[in-house]
Structure 1
């Protein structure tokens, strides 16, 4: 469902974040970018039946922007890539820096908890998450995504059935949805 890669020269912290993302995004494949272009990543995504490419960029060694792109077939039979959403990160706490580490990939979520959302921005972002993960949201899974507001920042956490935070914690400063 997701092909995950990074900017051209990822820092060690960004590589750790990519590992965390590969564990929390169901059906994801992590690819080392190297010299691959976006069109080469799109071909890899198409071969792996991934609908989305997730590119994470870093600034000063920290993950800063998550770009989500849709992959599909163009009218001429080629592969097309179009931007879906760009998420600006304000901070990330990796799973190795606190909380519980995941030892195996998550294959689905119980839901997206947006009960601590008060603004339209937060509710819109929860809708984006539900669109991206719609196929993987069912009642019988033990993990859930919690979205809450802390001033202008949205905090995204993964919670297990005991209530413990697992995986990375992301502070989202803003986002932009393309093609509305």
Structure 2
């Protein structure tokens, strides 16, 4: 996976991308500069990347995470798979007791079996977007994967996603998700205000 930003990112967005790269399997951080989406496609093709993730800015903070799939020739373009709208994030350095993840090779997405349909749909989206596997048993997930993304209902948002290393300690960023658009299944979920105004804007 290649993880980058929209043009003119803030320092907080850069820090968020660094955190995100640390917990996604095989992820590499890419400085966007003036690169277009077509440029990002060629970069992904050259590196053999299966996903391109672009984090945009909302009032100085991470606002939208767009997930693209590089298509094989003759299409030779990035297909928008999913859009994740953020209400807010907490960086790893802002999380008491957090540890740093290094070189994650596998990612599980845990959602409780008793969770509602919206959270299960979100877990399915995250597993496809981040090349992960859904795991219903939390302890088994910690034993199987380097990092586990725990999906739970948020108090003022659709959901919160907290990354935990195999030790059980928090690592990487915490995502407060305002809404998602899954272009593979047509599912749209939202609860809170925030970056939702970006849903109809250009993803570049």
Does TM, scored on the shorter chain, surpass 0.5?
A: yes
Aligned to 2:110: 113
TM-score of the aligned structures, taking structure 1 as reference length = 0.88
Aligned to 1:172: 177
2:119 equivalent to 1:122: yes
Q: How many correspondences in the alignment?
A: 176
Partner SS for 2:144: coil
Task: Determine the C-alpha separation between the residues in 1 that align with 2:9 and 2:128.
Answer: 28
Higher strand share: 1
**Contact between 2:16 and 2:62, CA under 8 Å: does it hold in 1?**
yes
2:47 equivalent to 1:48: yes
TM-score of the aligned structures, taking structure 2 as reference length = 0.78
1:179 Cα offset (Å): 4.2
Identify unmatched segments of 5+ residues in structure 1.
none
Task: Determine the C-alpha separation between the residues in 1 that align with 2:176 and 2:56.
Answer: 15
1:103 Cα offset (Å): 5.0
Aligned to 2:18: 19
Task: Determine the C-alpha separation between the residues in 2 that align with 1:85 and 1:126.
Answer: 12
Q: State which drifts further: 155-164 or 48-57.
A: 155-164
Of the candidates 140, 147, 154, which is equivalent to residue 143 of structure 1? 147
Moved over 4 A (4+): 135-139
Instruction: Give the direction of change, closer, same or farther, for the CA distance of 1:117–1:170 in structure 2 (3 Å limit).
Output: farther
Q: State which drifts further: 128-137 or 141-150.
A: 128-137
**Contact between 2:53 and 2:67, CA under 8 Å: does it hold in 1?**
yes
**Contact between 1:117 and 1:148, CA under 8 Å: does it hold in 2?**
no
Q: Per-residue CA shift, 1:136-177, capped at 9, x if unaligned?
A: 988533432210002442010112334221111110011001
